[in-house]
Structure 1
Amino acid sequence: MEKLTTMHCEACRVGAPLVTEAEIKVLHAQIPHWNIIQENNINRLQRVFKFNNFAEALTFTNKAGALAEENGHHPDILTAYGQVTITWWSHKIKGLHKNDFIMAAKTDELQ
């Protein structure tokens, strides 16, 4: 399988298919530091990134925001002293799409 970091997001529209359990296993293997969580009955990818201080966390937040804008796919980002929590999922389909795994892998490269 192609590395997630070399892939590009595709336009996701209402009705696009969610990733299957089998696809999740294959894709998740490439981003092992991300947890699959469920919030409001919606599967999401989430990771907490640790930093030495708020300034470093804010710098990472800005990089993650720029990445999201560049790809037209936007996560929830929570910035706190010494940490940033990033949560990816596809709002239009209320769950996980291949795009979310691609963006998680690209987010890992920012650190």
Structure 2
Amino acid sequence: MTTLAHTPCEPCSGNVIPLSYEACQAHLKALPEWQIIEHDGIMKLTRQFTFRNFADAMAFSQRVGNVAEQAGHHPILVTEWGKNTVTWWSHEIKGLHLNDFILAARTDEVAE
């Protein structure tokens, strides 16, 4: 897996400027399954994961929740039968930060 997952998260306060679209594209190269979406003018990082059943999707949600709690940074998790959609962004800065890409990479690791 990418070394991005092993990069320490940086402190992020409300006075940090969100990453530009170009900077996001550079980080996205390490996360080929993820895509950037824009919702209400805010760039977010999202990916859908598929599973054999609801129990596997729920177990994945718990693993992502554990990653989120450890980092103190929380995504939107939508759990459905056989799939889970994870969306990361930094709420405080209303955009994407390096931490979102780090946590997306860690999400990929717990999906394996």
Same fold (TM over 0.5): yes
Q: Counterparts of 1:35 and 1:43 in 2: how far apart (Å)?
A: 10
Please say if 1:85 is aligned against 2:47: no
Matches within 5 A, 1:45-56: 45-56=45-56
Q: Counterparts of 1:20 and 1:3 in 2: how far apart (Å)?
A: 22
Give the drift of 1:31: 0.4
Q: CA RMSD in A?
A: 1.2
Q: Counterparts of 2:18 and 2:3 in 1: how far apart (Å)?
A: 20
| 2:68 equivalent in structure 1 | 68
Q: In the alignment, residue 20 of structure 1 is paired with which amino acid?
A: S
Q: Percent identity?
A: 43
Give the drift of 1:11: 1.7
SS at match of 2:66: helix
Q: Counterparts of 2:47 and 2:85 in 1: how far apart (Å)?
A: 6
Unpaired segments ≥5 residues, structure 1: none
Q: Counterparts of 1:76 and 1:12 in 2: how far apart (Å)?
A: 18
Q: In the alignment, residue 92 of structure 1 is paired with which amino acid?
A: E
- Number of matched pairs: 110
| 2:31 equivalent in structure 1 | 31
TM-score (norm 1): 0.94
